[in-house]
Amino acid sequence: MSNLARRYYQEQQPKQPTITPQPKKKRVRVKKIKYSAAEKLMCFVLISFVFLFSVKIVSNWAYIYNVNTEIHNLQQSIHNKQKYNDDLSVQVSELSTYERIWTIAAEMGLSLNENNVKVVEN
């Protein structure tokens, strides 16, 4: 083999890794943090305060929602009553026309005597 062929052949061959001792990894110890009783108490108080505050917020939202639904129901009821009152006032104005009163009076046998009529003003 020529020198060029030998070099090409050596480049084609994967290199065998040599066995070298691996350096041992050092274990990293995680230090446990010990909390004192006061720190544990403060943490408990903080967590309970956050929990109670969140419960208070949710209960206030529920109360506000109930009040808003009651307000909406009352407004709807007021609107229905106003519509009913408007319908009744239209009926009153239709039933109290002079022509209708004259026809009912004529059916009952009443007649108009101008001497007995008195004008009343509001």
Q: Name, of 63-72, 98-107, 112-121, the range with top average pLDDT.
A: 63-72
Give 120's pLDDT tier (boundaries 50, 70, 90).
confident
Question: What's the confidence (pLDDT) of residue 54?
Answer: 98
Report pLDDT for 9: 67
Please give the Cα distance from 22 to 25 (Å, whole number). Answer: 9
- Measured on CA atoms in the order 53, 58, 60, 61, is the torsion positive or negative? positive
Q: Are 86 and 79 in contact (CB under 8 A)?
A: no
CA-angle at 38, arms to 51 and 31, nearest 5°: 100
Tens digits of residue pLDDT in 7-54: 776 666 655 556 666 777 788 888 888 889 999 999 999 999 999 999
Predicted pLDDT of residue 111:
82
pLDDT digits (tens, 9 = 90+) for 75-102: 999 999 999 999 999 999 999 888 898 8
What is the pLDDT, as a whole number, of residue 24? 77
Q: What is the rounded (10 degree) CA torsion for 84, 102, 111, 115?
A: 80
